[in-house]
């Protein structure tokens, strides 16, 4: 059953695996380096002292990597050709979830826009906002059709439709 879900089908695609791995393994250090830019030792201490945040950061990194791989997979594959708007909204929602949920006080742009009291409030409740960000990524995966079940016929038909749309765009 799990092999017929679009998300797992996309992850099995070899070029997409590289994109997913790059996103997963680069996002966690980026988040932690933004949080603790002083040194690698402080980063490891931060991971040990805040295990809840660390688990949530790892979960977010994995889900965001899976989302990016699904996004790049479905962008070239026409499963539901009318879902381009929902794809864009899912991507925008995930980026907003990353910026505001994971570490709102760490991004200097947000630090300029928000007053100090609000930044401290957001930082104190960071695990809650991280869970909200994870929920946004789950919703984005859902909007991309990542949890839809597929069969071999629908995959072949979608490839034919994608090829037809690509050829039509080239002719225009």
What tens digit of pLDDT does each residue of 90-142 get? 666 666 666 655 554 455 556 666 676 776 776 777 788 788 888 888 888 88
Q: Which residue did the predictor score with more confidence, 159 or 19? A: 19
Given a cut of 80, whether residue 80 has pLDDT beyond it is no
Look at the alpha carbons of 149, 157, 143, 69 in this order and tell me if their dihedral is positive or negative: positive
Amino acid 158: pLDDT: 54
29-38, 64-73, 112-121 — which one is most confidently predicted on average? 64-73
């Amino acid at each position: 059953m799990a092999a017929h879900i679009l998300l797992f089908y996309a992850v099995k695609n070899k070029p997409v695996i590289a994109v997913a791995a790059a996103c997963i393994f680069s996002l966690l250090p980026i988040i932690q380096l933004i949080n603790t830019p002083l040194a690698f030792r402080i980063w490891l201490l931060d991971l040990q002292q805040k295990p809840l945040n660390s688990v949530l950061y790892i979960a977010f990194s994995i889900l965001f990597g899976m989302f990016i791989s699904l996004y790049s997979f479905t962008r070239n594959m026409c499963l539901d050709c009318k879902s381009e708007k929902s794809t864009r909204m899912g991507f925008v929602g995930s980026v907003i979830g990353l910026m505001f949920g994971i570490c709102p006080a760490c991004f200097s742009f947000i630090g300029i826009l928000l007053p100090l009291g609000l930044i401290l409030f957001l930082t104190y409740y960071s695990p809650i906002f991280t869970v909200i960000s994870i929920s946004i990524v789950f919703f984005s995966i859902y909007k991309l059709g990542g949890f839809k079940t597929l069969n071999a016929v629908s995959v072949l038909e979608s490839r034919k439709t994608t090829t037809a749309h690509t050829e039509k765009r080239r002719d225009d």
